[in-house]
Chain A
C-alpha cells in the first residue's frame, strides 16, 4: 500500500494547471435518445482520470465525443485549445493530438505490426519512413514486443495486440490518451501486461482518460475517478475518497456490486 501511495504522490507532481480538455454543458442525442446530459468536465495536463459506471451509462460515448468519433449536439468541447466544431481541419488536428485505444484493439489486419505503427506518422505527420520506423521500434520496445514487429496482428495474442494498439497511438506522440475499456476483451492473465503498460505511461505524465472497471488500476493511477449514470456525471472524487467514502447512493450501489464479489 505504501508503495502505491508513494507512486501516486510521485505521479501527482506531473499535474499542471494548464487545461488539456474542457467540456462545458455538452449534450448528445442518438435520435431522440438523450445519451449525455449537461456534461461538465475539465482535465488538466498530466491528469489521469478513470471513468466508471454501469453499462449503457454513456462512458464510451463521452470519450468518443472528445476526438469527434461521435458528434455532440449541444455544448462546447475544447481540446488542447482547439474548439471541436464540424470543421474537418479542426477535427483532424485534434485527432492527431489525441490517441485512442479501443476495447477490440482495431489493429489493421492487412498491415504488419510495424506498418500499423508507422502508417499514421508517415501519412498524417509526413515523417520520413526511416524515422517513423525508428520511433515505432522505440515504442514497441516500450510495450515489450519489439520482436513481433514484422508479424501480422492475427498472429499475436490479445494482450500483445492491445499493447501494439497502445504503441500505435503513442507513435503519433499524442498529448492526451483515451482508453475505452482496454482490458475488458482480454483473458485475465493478459490484463496485467496491458495495465502495466498503462501504469508506466501514467508515470511519465501522460494525460489519460480511461474507461475501465479495473478498480485496482484506478486506485493506483488515477487522480480522479468519475462515476457516470444515465448520461450524467453523478460523482467525482480522488480515488481514496471515491472508494472509501462514496457520497451518492447510486455510486454506493455500483461500488458494492463491482467490489462485492
Chain B
C-alpha cells in the first residue's frame, strides 16, 4: 500500500464488530458427526455397520451381566433362579471369592495378613514410583519386603529379621570399603552378608519360640490371585536390578564378565519359561544338598526372575546403545568414575529410553505368573481350573470365572501401563 493511498483512506473503524456465530451446520454435534462419522457415503456405511455390531454385542452381553445371579450355591440353583432367561451365574464368584483371591488352603482367619501386606505395598512402592514424595519414605520401602514376608508366611519374625540384618551388615561393610574401591565394597558386602546369614542360620532355630504371634503358613498353601501378586511383584522388582547388571556386564570391557552375561542372556532367552518352571518344580531340588528343602515358591521366583531379567537386560541394552558416545565421554572427561558415570549419567537416560520395553516385559511377566498352574500350584488360574471348575457344583461356569480372571489381570496391567505413560511424560526434558 503506497503512502498516498494510506492518506486517502479517511475512515478508521473505532469499535470492533461483535463476533457472530458460525452457521449451525459448522458447529456442535452436527458438524462433529458430519466430519467424523459421515464424511462420505462409504464412511457412513461403515459407521452404520459398526453401530449394528456394537448393538448385537451389547444386546447379548448386557442382559447376561445385569440379569446375573449373585446368590446361589451351585450352577443348578443358578439355572433354577434364571428359569431359562439369559443371565450369568456370578454366584460362583461370591461363593468362591476367598479361594479366588487366597487359594484353597490359606487359613481363613489369616486373610487379613496378605490384605494388609497388599495395602502396605502401595505405601512401599509410592516413593519409588513417584519421585516427588519425601525420600525418607524409602526407609519403609527397604523394610517392606521383610515385613510382607512375615505377614504372609507368618512364623517367627526372627527369619525376616535375620535376612534384614544380613543386608544391613552388608550395607555397613560396603560403606566402609567403598572408599578404597567399588569392587572391594561390593564383594566385601556380599561376603559379610553371607557370613551373617550363615551364623544366624544356626542361632535362629535354637532360640525361635514354639508359639509365634502369626501362625506359620507353608508355601504350598499360597494360592489364588495373591500368589500371582506375590510372584509378579517380587520377580519384577528383582529382575529390574539384575537386568541392569546383566546389561552393563554385556557391555563390559572385561571379556570374562561380558562372556558370562552373553551366555546367560542368550541361553535363558532361548528356553521357554514353562520348561524353566518344570525345572524348578522337579529338577532344581537335585542341585541343592540333600535335606535342604528349598521352598517351591522360592524356586519358582528364582526361575521367573532369571527368565525376565534376561529380557529386561536386552531391553536396557537397547537403551544403552541409543545413548550417544559423547555422553560417556563427557562423563569420563569430568572425572566421574565408572559407577558414578553409570548411575548419574548413563542409566537415568538409558532407563528412560527403555521404559516402554521394561513395562512390556513387566506386564508379560505378570501374566506369565499364571503358568505356575501347570506345575500344580493353585494360583488364580490354577484355582479356577482345579478345585473350582472340578467341583460338581460349579462345573460349567466358564465365562463368569475366566472373565473375572481376565478383569483382575487387566486392572493391574492397565494400571502399570498408565503409570509408565505418566512417567514418560514426567521425564520428558528434551523440548524439541
Contacts and interface: CB of A to CB of B under 8 A. Distances in A.
Interface of A: 67-69, 88, 92-93, 95-96, 98-100, 102, 104, 106-110, 119-120, 123-124, 152, 154-155, 168-169, 172
A154 B352 CA distance: 16
A104 B326 CA distance: 8
Contacts of A68: 332
B427 interface: yes
Interface string B322-364: 0010110110111111001000110011001000000000000
A126 B113 CA distance: 45
A174 to B, nearest CB: 9
Among all A-B residue pairs, the 10 with the closest Cβ atoms:
A96-B335, A106-B330, A106-B326, A120-B334, A154-B430, A100-B333, A95-B335, A152-B429, A124-B335, A154-B431
A145 to B, nearest CB: 17
* Residue from A104, A107, A108 whose CB has the most chain B CB atoms within 10 Å: A108
Contacts of B337: 88, 92
Contacts of B352: 110
B432 interface: yes
Contacts of B432: 154
25 contacts: A68-B332, A69-B329, A69-B333, A92-B335, A92-B337, A93-B335, A95-B333, A96-B334, A96-B335, A98-B333, A102-B326, A106-B329, A110-B349, A110-B429, A119-B344, A120-B334, A120-B335, A120-B336, A124-B335, A124-B336, A152-B429, A154-B429, A154-B431, A154-B432, A168-B334
Contacts of A98: 333
* Residue from A100, A104, A106 whose CB has the most chain B CB atoms within 10 Å: A106
Given A106-B324, A106-B327, A154-B430, 5 more contacts: A95-B332, A108-B330, A124-B334, A124-B340, A169-B333
A12 to B, nearest CB: 28
A102 B334 CA distance: 12
A96 B335 CA distance: 5
Contacts of B427: 110
Contacts of A124: 334-336, 340
B179 to A, nearest CB: 11
Contacts of A100: 330, 333
A8 B327 CA distance: 35
A165 B150 CA distance: 51
A137 to B, nearest CB: 18
Interface in B29-71: none
A99 B335 CA distance: 9
A88 B180 CA distance: 13
Contact of A109 (B329, B333, B430): B430
B340 A123 contact: yes
B335 A109 contact: no
Nearest to B340: A123
Nearest to A102: B326
Nearest to B326: A106
* Residue from A104, A110, A152 whose CB has the most chain B CB atoms within 10 Å: A110
Interface residues of B, number: 22
Given A92-B337, A123-B340, A172-B335, A155 B330 contact: no
Contact of B332 (A69, A99, A108): A69
A124 to B, nearest CB: 5
Contacts of B340: 123-124
A204 B340 CA distance: 32
Contacts of B332: 67-69, 95
A88 B340 CA distance: 14
B327 to A, nearest CB: 6
A70 B344 CA distance: 22
Contacts of B326: 102, 104, 106
A109 B432 CA distance: 11
Interface string B413-432: 00000000000000101111
Nearest to A168: B334
A96 B120 CA distance: 45
A96 to B, nearest CB: 3
A106 to B, nearest CB: 4
A172 B349 contact: no
* Residue from B324, B326, B335 whose CB has the most chain A CB atoms within 10 Å: B335
B164 to A, nearest CB: 29
A240 B327 CA distance: 38
B286 to A, nearest CB: 43
A152 B334 contact: no
Contact of B348 (A99, A110, A169): A110
Contacts of B334: 95-96, 119-120, 124, 168-169, 172
A92 B324 CA distance: 21
A102 B329 CA distance: 9
Nearest to B338: A88
A108 B333 contact: no
B330 A109 contact: no
B327 A152 contact: no
Contacts of B330: 100, 102, 106-108
Contacts of A102: 326, 329-330
A168 B345 CA distance: 14
* Residue from B329, B330, B348 whose CB has the most chain A CB atoms within 10 Å: B330
Contacts of A69: 329, 332-333
Nearest to A92: B335
A108 B345 contact: yes
Nearest to B325: A106
Interface in B294-337: 324, 326-327, 329-330, 332-337
Contacts of A109: 349, 429-430
B329 to A, nearest CB: 6
A168 B430 CA distance: 19
A67 B334 CA distance: 10
Contacts of B348: 110
Nearest to A69: B329
Contacts of A154: 429-432
Contact of B336 (A88, A110, A123): A123
Nearest to B429: A152
Given A67-B333, A108-B330, A152 B431 contact: yes
